[in-house]
C-alpha cells in the first residue's frame, strides 16, 4: 500500500521581503473597525437622530386641533397643551398624556 501523505508535503513558506509587512496587521484591523463604525453611523444613528429632531420640532409647534398618535396607540386631536402634558380628545374621551409619548403628528 502506498502512503500518499509522503507526497503531499507543504511547500516551504516564502521569506517576507524586508519592509513589506502585511496590511492585515494592526493598521488594517483599525481601518476596518473604523470603516464599520462609519457605515454603522451613516445607516443607523444619523437617520434616527434626524427623525427624533424632526419629531421634537413638531411637538414644540403643536397647537389645538392637531391630530396626534401616542406611544400607547391613541389617535386623537389636541385639545389643550400644558407645560409637560397634552390633553387629547378621542371620540367622547379626553386623555392627559405626556408630550414625550407623542410618536407622530398629523396636521
Res 13 pLDDT > 90: no
pTM listed for this prediction? 0.65
**Three-class DSSP category at 43:** helix
The pLDDT value given to residue 86: 93
The rounded distance, in Å, linking the Cα atoms of 94 and 35 is 50
C-alpha dist (Å) from residue 97 to 4, 14, 49, 58, 69? 79, 72, 23, 16, 11
Q: Report in angstroms the alpha-carbon separations of 23 from 16, 31, 83.
A: 13, 10, 58
Burial of 29 (0-12, 13-18, 19+ CB in 10 A): exposed
63-107: what CATH class?
Answer: mainly beta
- pLDDT for position 22: 53
* Every domain of the chain and the residues it spans: 63-107
Cα(102)–Cα(48) distance, rounded to whole angstroms? Answer: 16
48-96 tens-digit pLDDT? 999 999 999 999 999 999 999 999 999 999 999 999 999 999 988 999 9
pLDDT tens-digit map of 20-34: 555 457 888 999 999
Asked if the model's pLDDT at residue 101 lies above 70, the reply is: yes
pLDDT, position 79: 93
Amino acid at each position: 500500500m502506498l502512503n500518499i501523505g509522503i507526497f503531499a508535503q507543504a511547500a516551504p513558506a516564502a521569506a517576507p521581503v524586508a519592509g513589506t509587512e502585511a496590511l492585515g496587521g494592526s493598521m488594517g484591523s483599525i481601518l476596518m473597525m473604523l470603516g464599520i463604525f462609519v457605515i454603522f453611523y451613516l445607516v443607523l444613528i444619523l437617520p434616527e437622530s434626524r427623525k427624533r429632531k424632526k419629531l421634537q420640532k413638531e411637538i414644540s409647534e403643536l397647537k389645538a386641533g392637531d391630530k396626534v398618535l401616542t406611544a400607547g396607540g391613541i389617535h386623537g386631536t389636541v385639545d389643550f397643551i400644558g407645560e409637560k402634558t397634552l390633553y387629547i380628545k378621542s371620540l367622547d374621551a379626553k386623555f392627559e398624556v405626556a408630550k414625550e409619548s407623542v410618536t407622530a403628528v398629523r396636521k
